[in-house]
């Protein structure tokens, strides 16, 4: 399987985020070959890497800005990092349609366990 085919299969299954380890397993190639293939897709603008080892598929409508809005991938990224977080009031209100203007940044905060 090629990296482009892997990406298109993800989009067909309505997934836009994946880890580098998942790509290595799906492509059946070495880690170096997979990294090179993903790097080529990033250079084309088809992928973004907001965090090392975590990739986001960039649909054509977002390629001019280089990545999808943070709200599209933050839940998946936090699950990948196994971090608890909450969205700030403005960002949460946006999800529920309770703001009259869209916030300019994604407001978030990590929670700290004091166990």
pLDDT, tens digit (0-9, with 9 covering 90-100), for 75-94: 899 899 998 877 665 566 66
CATH fold of 3-68: Arc Repressor Mutant, subunit A (1.10.10)
Give percent of the chain with pLDDT exceeding 90. Answer: 48
pLDDT value at position 66? 83
Q: Which long-range contacts (CB under 8 A, 24 or more apart) does 19-28 make?
A: 19/53, 19/54, 19/55, 19/80, 20/53, 20/54, 20/55, 21/53, 23/55, 26/1, 27/1, 27/2, 27/3, 28/1
Average pLDDT (7-28) is 93
Average pLDDT, the chain: 83
Q: Where are the domains of the chain?
A: 3-68
Q: DSSP code of 64?
A: T
- Between CA 35 and CA 13 the distance in angstroms is 22
């Amino acid at each position: 399987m090629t990296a482009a085919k892997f990406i298109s299969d993800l989009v067909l299954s309505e997934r836009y985020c994946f880890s580098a380890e998942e790509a290595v397993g799906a492509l059946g190639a070495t880690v170096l070959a997979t990294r090179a293939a993903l790097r080529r897709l990033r250079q084309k603008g088809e992928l973004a890497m907001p965090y090392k080892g975590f990739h986001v598929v960039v649909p054509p409508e977002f390629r001019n800005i280089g990545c999808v809005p943070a709200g599209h991938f933050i839940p998946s990224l936090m699950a990948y990092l196994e971090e608890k977080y909450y969205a700030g009031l403005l960002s949460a209100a946006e999800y529920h349609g309770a703001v009259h203007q869209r916030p300019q940044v994604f407001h978030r905060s990590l929670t700290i366990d004091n166990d």
